[in-house]
Amino acid sequence: MKPLIKGIHHITAIAGNPQANIDFYTGILGLRLVKKTINFDAPDVYHFYFGDELGHPGTVFTTFPFAGARKGIKGTGELTYTAFSIASNSLAYWRERLGKYGIAISDTLTRFGHELIRFEDHDGMGIELIANDRDDRPGWSYGAIPQEHSIKGFYGATLLLRAKELTAKLLTEHMNYRLIGEEGNRYRYGTEGKPGDIVDIVVEPNGNRGMQSAGTVHHIAFRTENTSTQSEIQQILLKHGYQVTEVKDRNYFKSIYFREPGGVLFEIATDEPGFAIDEEEAHLGELLKLPDWAEPSRDRIEKSLAPVSLNPSNYD
């Protein structure tokens, strides 16, 4: 039987200034803007999707940019660090690149045998780059970043929780995850244990609760193959007492949502149909794409959104 959950689909964060958000993730990190749309639950706010060439599941970091939003606070009950995967020889390149743009970088850290660096974006979003030789995804570059050093997609994510037992039970008994390692108060879970499916739980029993706003993660989405497998996992979760939403149509995937026991918002999203359903692959992210129900309000929506432009060439 195929597993119902196949790793991380996407991670969605709250951001501040929309243009600064695009500049950082496309210009400095080199991710492709694969879709420019709106927050379906708040149509006067953008929803940006950044990923590899086609926005494959497991590569897509998305943002809701609220201009003028105050900065959030990292804390328990949140996903505090999003880790991206890079080649094993790429840390020196990224140290130099991030330093060129004045971004403060941690010392080189070692975790489960892999070296990494940690930093924050302009909003305070926690980011890690983990160097490894286990990722055969090609990555994406607008050209300024050499292909061999480009970000390949997610490595994993860190959940900061006051306790792990109930969340670990959810992951291992209902979501096809298994415990694959422990280091101090960090517990690592994976479906196959490869880049793109890693979830770390860091336990801080007395940690302060986080405050969600700009620079914090709104939710993490996990991959499922299609609506049939999504329905199966939905029924499993409901059977075990989780408060799961109805299926929501996000155009590029279908979604269900629920809170895991530690407070982090989880989503289960389908791999289908992807981001090329309303734009040619060569032109992903160029136009503001709206769901059908929002098209009658396009003029009003466009006037409510600050103009943004894509300028990766400004970051050589």
Instruction: Give residue-wise pLDDT tens across range 187-231.
Output: 999 999 999 999 999 999 999 999 999 999 999 999 999 999 999
pLDDT given at position 12: 98
248-292, pLDDT tens digit by residue?
999 999 999 999 999 999 999 999 999 999 999 999 999 999 999
pLDDT given at position 314: 85
Are residues 7 and 199 in contact, defined by beta-carbon separation less than 8 angstroms? no
Neighbour-count burial for 57-92, b at 16+ CB within 10 Å, e otherwise: bbbbbbbbbbbebeebebbbbbbbbbbbbbbeebbe
> How many helices (H) and strands (E) are present in the chain, helices listed first?
5, 16
Q: Against a cut of 0.85, is the pTM above it?
A: yes
Q: Which long-range contacts (CB under 8 A, 24 or more apart) does 176-182 make?
A: 176/3, 176/4, 176/5, 176/6, 177/5, 181/112
Alpha-carbon distance of 178 to 171, in angstroms, equals 7
Say whether pLDDT at 311 is over 90.
Answer: no
Alpha-carbon distance of 206 to 95, in angstroms, equals 33
Say whether pLDDT at 181 is over 80.
Answer: yes
Residues 6 or more apart from 84 whose CB is under 8 A from it?
29, 127, 128, 129, 130, 151, 152, 153, 154, 155
With CA atoms as reference, report the closest residue to 247 among 277, 268, 263, 219.
268
Residues 6 or more apart from 240 whose CB is under 8 A from it?
174
pLDDT given at position 1: 67
Are residues 151 and 85 in contact, defined by beta-carbon separation less than 8 angstroms? yes
> What average pLDDT score do residues 150-179 get?
98
44-92, pLDDT tens digit by residue?
999 999 999 999 999 999 999 999 999 999 999 999 999 999 999 999 9
Could you tell me where the DSSP H helices lie in the chain? 18-22, 91-100, 165-174, 227-239, 298-304
Residue 43 is inside which H or E element, if any?
Answer: strand 42-51
Place of tokens 């590569």: 59
Alpha-carbon distance of 245 to 238, in angstroms, equals 10
Q: Is the bond preceding 312 in cis, omega lying within 30 degrees of 0?
A: no
Per DSSP bridges, beta strands 254-259 and 126-132 are unpaired
pLDDT given at position 291: 95
Are residues 75 and 210 in contact, defined by beta-carbon separation less than 8 angstroms? yes
Cα dihedral sign, 274-278-283-288: negative
**Residue 15: pLDDT band with limits 50, 70, 90:** very high
Phi first, then psi: what are they for 282, rounded to 5°?
-70, -15
pLDDT given at position 9: 98
Are residues 128 and 217 in contact, defined by beta-carbon separation less than 8 angstroms? no
With CA atoms as reference, report the closest residue to 153 among 215, 103, 83.
83
Q: How many CB atoms lie within 10 A of CB 227?
A: 14
